[in-house]
Amino acid sequence: NLMDVDKHYRRKEYLLFPYFEKANLPGPPTVMWGKHDEVRQLLRLTIEGLQQVATLDAAEAKAYGLMSVLPAIEAVDEMVYKEEKILFPTALNLLTEQEWYQIYLQSDEYGYCLYAPEFAWQPAGGVADQLGKPVAHDDRVQMPTGSFTLAELIGI
């Protein structure tokens, strides 16, 4: 369950961060993506360490397990704080309700961290007719969460 946080980070990285980049606000996503990678590494090290606990006696295992998991817990907690105080307030002002709906529609693809929402949501203003249709602009094809050049699309 520790690595479940990766689903949350991937949803942010691939669904939310492109809107920041599109609005020419790459700072928060760039910093957070780096922090996500640090948390992932701490979690991997924690899991590897906990898998080795079986060779220790009960007292050693308890002490080792607590010591190895604390840095990962602190890093996840720090990320939650940054999301609540910086990222999400900025995103609430930045994204339209239709853009949030696009994120909502694609969220199942990445999964959820520890809890999967069990409700359906539609924007109060309804769903825009052109929602999700690619649009060409400045030699790029704009998709709901980012853009590609024609060569990149062909390559994909």
Contact 20, 28 (CB under 8 A): yes
Q: How far is CA 121 from CA 101, 103, 104, 127, in A?
A: 8, 11, 8, 11
pLDDT digits (tens, 9 = 90+) for 30-82: 999 999 999 999 998 888 877 776 666 666 666 666 677 888 889 999 999 99
Answer whether residue 131 shows pLDDT above 70: no
Position 137 scores a pLDDT of 54
Give the span between the Cα atoms of 93 and 97, in whole angstroms.
10
Mean pLDDT of 131-135: 52
Position 133 scores a pLDDT of 55
Answer whether residue 24 shows pLDDT above 80: yes
Half-sphere exposure (Cβ direction) of 58: Cα atoms closer than 13 Å: 0
φ, ψ dihedrals at 18, nearest 5°: -60, -30
Answer whether residue 14 shows pLDDT above 90: yes
Is the pTM for the entire model greater than 0.95?
A: no
